A and B are shown apart, each in its own frame.
Chain A
Amino acid sequence: MGYVAVKGGEEAIKNSLSFYDEEFKGDIKPKDIRESLSFAVDKIMSEGSLYSKKLSSVAIKKSAGDLLNAAFFLRAHRSSCARVGMAKTINTDDMRIIRRVSSAFKDIQGGQILGPSNDYEVKLILKKVANKTIWSEFISDDIFVESALKPLRNKGLIKELKKDREIADITRIFPNSPYPRSAVLQIMSRGEGGSMLAFAYTTMRGYGDVHPTIGDLRIGKCDVKFTHPFTSKEVKIAEIESTSCEAVGTLEKQEDGSTKLTTGYGFCFGFNETKAISMAILDISLYSSSHSIGSGSIASDFDMILHHIDGVESMGFTNHYKLPHYVTFQSNLQVLMNAKEHNGGEK
């Protein structure tokens, strides 16, 4: 079997691209994507690590709905943007919430606010009858509530992790082990939702020891504040939609001898509850000692998690196997032939 020489690539690529445009791209406007596919747009902002609904919808259009590729577009664009500086830390207790639930308590300060959600929609794809009662009045007041775990935290029941003295920026330095906590959270916050979900799911099915309870899950808007370079005053420069989740793990003995509850934190751009919950569970799994005497935990290994949840990386590398590999494959074949010869010239 002979290889056909791979040449004339340039023209082939041009043709392939115009064929792709013709075959896969319709005439949907990015604006329509932005308004109708908001969760896809949010997912791409989060994984693309760039808060722009506009660019995110353009990326989805350009990739014809291949969301891994869309995040890739956004990340690539990000590399062309200058880094201006570091905004003030956002406290998600100050979020203007539109939805906040806690499954740890029946009733909480500020109440359970279901907000806009399709959790309790019966997923009948062909259901023709819409809801009979249509509620069209929603409160427009700003709602701020503290985390539902605040009472437990005030009582000193919750384990507190040490804060990093300096906040990492993984877009500038990708850390080595031991990984600073701020870097770990950043990597997870822009990780690929599906990969994170899968790893988080392992901890619930015996490969780990996490039995999470959602302490506080919220979506809403957070102010982004920045120190003005000339006036040195703090100014609000933006407002970002985001999701945050605090999950409670189990009890753990602390170095000072006290026993406390472990918690994990999840945060991402846009509305993506599954991702924020997955992140919170991974956070618990990474930072809490495991008591399991069963099989080893996969998701409590920093290297395992931090190097395998980035969609742009894993998708890119997996697809790179489509590139010509005949040089390396030729060398593999040689090894096979040598081995056969070594075994007495087997046929």
Chain B
Amino acid sequence: MRFAFLDEDAKKEIRRATLKAIAIPGYQVSFASRELPIARGWGTGGLQVTLSIITQKDSLKVIDQGCDGSVNAVNIRNFITSVTNVETTNEVDKASIIQSRHRIPEKQMQEGQVLVLQVPEPEVLTNVEANASKQKIMHANSDYAKLWVLLYEDTSQFGDSRIGNRYPVMVNDRYVMDPSPIPKYDTLNLDNSKALVLLGAGREKKIYAVPPYTKVEPLKFDDREFKVEDFSGQKCQRCGASGVYMDEVHVDNGKTLYYCNDTSYCDEFLESRNA
């Protein structure tokens, strides 16, 4: 099979779209998304970005919901290695490309690293304007009034936006962008990121990017605090870490336990504690 599955023209097209995306932070660049032997909606956007940029020298980490061992991560990792033979790793520091769904690793990524996020719904305006041509005009005019109205309506009724994950962010003071369904906790880590963040949406055929050291701000009113998920007072039952994004686990006796969501962070924390 061809290296990285896709034919060279497809890779070239995806790389061109990616370069354009990096040049216009937060702007969604269309591309002719290819069918992959993995179902649409299962990470085919991120997968196409990864397959188009990966080389034999790369070291790859794939995570899904914070976990290297989760079924979809395993599946995607196996597919990529079966068509590239690249080395894989669970460690953030050792990876040159990290493909992720719904999380940004706890451990800060560095210059030269690439984070590829899988995106189900790239268009941040969909919930307030379903018509694609109108969305395009709104982006062109930087007209995000309807999003502000939504935010206002939610705030007046519920005290805060009802959006939990995929919270809209303003990128480089120009485009409002869907950051993929990462929790609010992660949203803040997009700001001024040292690593390049590439976002790929396969079904919706869009690629966009947050280049290193770009300003990324969640959309919020000046007099309102941006509240991220709160796990204060909780410690990971396995490694003892606190101050990270946690998984709630309801156990059989009705109790709720907390664990690090980022499993490789949990492993490293445990190792450093035992060392």
Tell me whether B128 and A105 are in contact (CB under 8 A): no
Binds A, one of B23-31, B54-62, B91-99, B244-252: B244-252
Provide the residues of chain A in CB contact with B75, threshold 8 Å.
120, 122
Q: Across the interface, name the chain A residue whose C-beta is closest to B252.
A: A109
Are A293 and B130 touching (Cβ within 8 A)? no
A105 touches B38 (CB 8 A): no
Question: Could you say which residues of chain A place their CB within 8 Å of the CB of B247?
Answer: 105-107
A294 close to B (CB within 8 Å): yes
Q: Which of A171-211 contact B (CB under 8 A)?
A: 204-207, 209
Asked if A286 lies at the interface with its beta carbon under 8 angstroms from chain B, I say: no
Contact for A124 among B37, B123, B131, B250, CB less than 8 A? B37
B8 within 8 A of A: no
Find out whether the CB atom of A291 lies under 8 angstroms from the CB atom of B129. no
- Restricting to A290-304, which residues have a CB under 8 Å from any CB of B? 291-295
Mask of B119-132 contacts with A, CB within 8 angstroms, 1/0? 00101011111110
Q: Which of B9-17, B110-118, B148-156 contacts A (4 or more CB under 8 A)?
A: B148-156
The answer to whether the Cβ of B146 comes within 8 Å of any Cβ in the partner chain is: yes
- Decide if B130 touches A295 in the complex (CB within 8 Å): yes
Q: Mark B76-114, 1 if CB is under 8 A from A, else 0.
A: 001100100000000000000000000000000000000
Contact of A109 among B82, B123, B250 (CB under 8 A): B250
Q: How far is the CA of A151 from the CA of B256 in the complex (A)?
A: 10
**Complex contact A105–B249 (CB within 8 A):** yes
How does the 8 Å CB contact mask read for B159-180 relative to A, with 1 for contact and 0 for none? 0001000000000000000000
Distance between Cα atoms of A217 and B205 in the complex (Å) = 29
Find out whether the CB atom of A151 lies under 8 angstroms from the CB atom of B250.
Answer: yes
Instruction: Indicate if A251 sits at the interface (CB-CB under 8 A).
Output: yes
**Complex: chain A residue closest to B39, CB-CB:** A123
Assess A295 versus B39: contact at CB under 8 Å? Given A120-B72, A251-B158. no
Chain B residues near A294 (CB-CB < 8 A): 125-130, 146
Contact with B along A292-323 (1 / 0, CB 8 A): 11110000000000000000000000000000
Residues of B within 8 A of A114 (CB): 71
B91 to chain A, nearest CB (A): 21
Q: Of residues 254 to 275 in B, which have CB atoms within 8 Å of A's CB atoms?
A: 254, 259, 261
- Residue contact B250 to A105, C-beta cutoff 8 Å: yes
The answer to whether B249 and A293 touch across the interface, beta carbons within 8 angstroms, is no
Name which residue of chain B comes closest to A151, CB basis: B250
B129 touches A206 (CB 8 A): yes
Taking a contact as CB atoms under 8 Å apart, the answer to whether B250 and A207 are in contact is no
- CB-CB under 8 A from A109, the residues of chain B are 250-252
B65 at the interface (CB under 8 A from A): yes
A124 CA / B65 CA spacing, docked (Å): 26
Provide the bound-state CA to CA distance between A114 and B78, in Å.
Answer: 18
Closest A residue to B149 by CB, please name it: A293
Q: By the criterion CB–CB under 8 Å, are B153 and A291 in contact?
A: yes
A90-120 interface (Cβ within 8 A of B): 105-109, 114, 119-120
A295 CA to B67 CA in the complex, in Å? 37
Given contacts A105-B249, A120-B72, A122-B79, contact A292 B128 (CB under 8 A): yes
Q: Are A291 and B162 in contact (CB under 8 A)?
A: yes
Residue A228 interfacial (CB < 8 Å): no
Q: CA of A294 to CA of B124 in the docked complex: distance in angstroms? A: 12
A119 / chain B contacts, CB cutoff of 8 Å: 39, 71
Q: Please, what's the 1-or-0 string for A277-293, where 1 marks a CB less than 8 Å from any CB in chain B?
A: 00000000000000111
Contact with A along B176-192 (1 / 0, CB 8 A): 00000000000000000
* Interface membership of B133, Cβ < 8 A: no
Residues of A within 8 A of B249 (CB): 105-107
A31 at the interface (CB under 8 A from B): no
Known: A119-B71, A124-B37, A294-B129. 6 other contacts (CB 8 A): A106-B259, A107-B247, A107-B249, A151-B250, A251-B162, A294-B128
Cross-chain pairs A/B with CB under 8 angstroms, 29 sampled:
A105-B249, A106-B65, A106-B249, A106-B261, A107-B247, A109-B250, A114-B71, A119-B71, A120-B72, A120-B75, A122-B37, A122-B38, A122-B75, A122-B82, A204-B121, A205-B126, A206-B130, A251-B158, A251-B162, A259-B158, A291-B150, A291-B162, A293-B146, A293-B149, A293-B150, A293-B153, A294-B130, A295-B130, A295-B131
9 tightest A-B contacts by CB? A206-B130, A206-B126, A295-B130, A294-B128, A123-B37, A151-B250, A120-B75, A106-B247, A107-B249
